[in-house]
């Protein structure tokens, strides 16, 4: 097997396993090459990734060492993606009677959810989350893709507890906008104590659901290291949770004019600039 063949296969394996430590020997065994050759191959991939700005290859030294691939996007690339997302969501055909915005196709799309998950992973990587938490249903695809990019398990709270999941812990919470009481529960075995939880959801208005997830995490003695939303409404300005990150802000929907006012969260780009 020539170097170029090995590079093609190693690059493929790394892309398919973001944030997973892969030992040099596993490549060496699989590709029938000396560790020194694999090490040189990895060096080439590392430099190519660096030059392109499309990811990073980190070398972990020591006996349990190897390499780990991290997805990464430049600020420009993230900005361009979010700009495109805004344009997609501004389509007036998305306005649902009652003043809602139809986003289901976007958040359920493998392509969009994958990129959003990678952006969330990039934003919260340094917080070392051990689990991604969401609540059924719409947040699941993005939570899954975030968990994939971080190489950690995804945990999904249910609206009601399920007999097929064994003992569970449940909480009740009031939605941030209405006075309606909702329930949320999670199987006891789904989340270990002292987990570092990244909360992910598609949409936030009052913040009641996010606050519910925080309370649920607290019941499991977990630490919430971040709260990531795709879209957050500008109104109400005061949310039940204070510390959250959103990609887009929905300023409002003008059902009369058929206009959707949605924009990139300005603060997000300054976070990325740091």
Count of C-beta atoms within a 10 Å radius of residue 239: 21
- In the complex with a copy of itself, the residue whose CB is nearer, 61 or 167, is 167
Least distance in angstroms from the C-beta of 26 to a copy of itself: 14
User: Interface residues with a copy of itself (CB under 8 A)?
Assistant: 1, 3-9, 11-12, 14-16, 44-45, 47-49, 51-52, 54-55, 96-98, 100-102, 104-105, 108-111, 113-114, 136-137, 140-141, 144-145, 147-148, 151, 153-156, 158, 163-166, 187, 189-190
> Using N-to-C axis directions, what is the helix angle for 75-89 and 266-273, rounded to 10°?
170
| Contact in structure between 215 and 171 (CB atoms under 8 Å) | yes
Least distance in angstroms from the C-beta of 187 to a copy of itself: 7
Least distance in angstroms from the C-beta of 103 to a copy of itself: 8
Which neighbouring-strand residues pair with 229? 201, 246
Listed as own residue / partner, the contacts of 181-185 with beta carbons closer than 8 Å and 24 or more positions apart are 182/208, 182/209, 182/212, 183/159, 184/135, 184/157, 184/158, 184/159, 184/209, 184/212, 184/213, 184/216, 185/157, 185/158, 185/159, 185/160, 185/161, 185/216
- In the complex with a copy of itself, the residue whose CB is nearer, 105 or 259, is 105
Residue (of 229, 202, 225, 193) closest to 136 by Cα position: 202
Alpha-carbon distance of 254 to 261, in angstroms, equals 8
**DSSP notation for 195-225:** -EEEEEEEEESSSHHHHHHHHHHHHTT-EEE
- In the complex with a copy of itself, the residue whose CB is nearer, 137 or 270, is 137
| Contact in structure between 185 and 170 (CB atoms under 8 Å) | yes
Report the DSSP pairing between strands 181-187 and 168-174. antiparallel
Least distance in angstroms from the C-beta of 32 to a copy of itself: 11
Least distance in angstroms from the C-beta of 5 to a copy of itself: 4
Least distance in angstroms from the C-beta of 16 to a copy of itself: 5
- In the complex with a copy of itself, the residue whose CB is nearer, 10 or 247, is 10
Q: Which pair of tokens denotes residue 23?
A: 């030992």
SS3 for 109? coil
- In the complex with a copy of itself, the residue whose CB is nearer, 99 or 271, is 99
- In the complex with a copy of itself, the residue whose CB is nearer, 154 or 171, is 154
- In the complex with a copy of itself, the residue whose CB is nearer, 178 or 269, is 178
Least distance in angstroms from the C-beta of 58 to a copy of itself: 16
């Amino acid at each position: 097997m020539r170097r170029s063949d090995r590079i093609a296969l190693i690059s493929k394996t790394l892309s398919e396993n973001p944030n997973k430590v892969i030992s040099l020997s596993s490549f060496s065994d699989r590709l029938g090459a000396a560790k020194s050759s694999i090490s040189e191959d990895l060096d080439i991939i590392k430099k190519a990734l660096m030059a392109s700005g499309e990811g990073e290859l980190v070398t972990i030294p020591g006996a349990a060492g190897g390499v780990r691939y991290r997805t990464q996007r430049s600020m420009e690339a993230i900005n361009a993606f979010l700009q495109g997302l805004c344009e997609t969501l501004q389509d007036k055909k998305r306005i649902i009677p009652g003043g809602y915005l139809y986003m289901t196709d976007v958040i359920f799309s493998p392509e969009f959810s994958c990129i959003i998950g990678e952006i969330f992973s990039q934003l919260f990587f340094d917080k070392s989350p051990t689990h991604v938490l969401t609540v059924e249903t719409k947040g699941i695809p993005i939570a899954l893709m975030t968990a994939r990019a971080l190489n950690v398990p995804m945990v999904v709270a249910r609206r009601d507890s399920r007999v097929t999941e064994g003992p569970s812990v449940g909480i009740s919470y009031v939605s941030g906008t209405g006075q309606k009481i909702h329930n949320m529960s999670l199987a006891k075995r789904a989340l270990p104590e002292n987990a570092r939880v990244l909360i992910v959801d598609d949409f936030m208005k009052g913040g009641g659901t996010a606050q519910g997830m925080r309370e649920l995490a607290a019941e499991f003695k977990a630490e919430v290291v971040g709260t990531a939303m795709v879209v957050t409404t500008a109104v109400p300005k005061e949310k039940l949770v204070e510390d959250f990150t959103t990609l887009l802000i929905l300023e409002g929907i003008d059902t009369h004019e058929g206009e959707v006012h949605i924009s990139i969260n300005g603060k997000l780009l300054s976070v990325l600039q740091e």
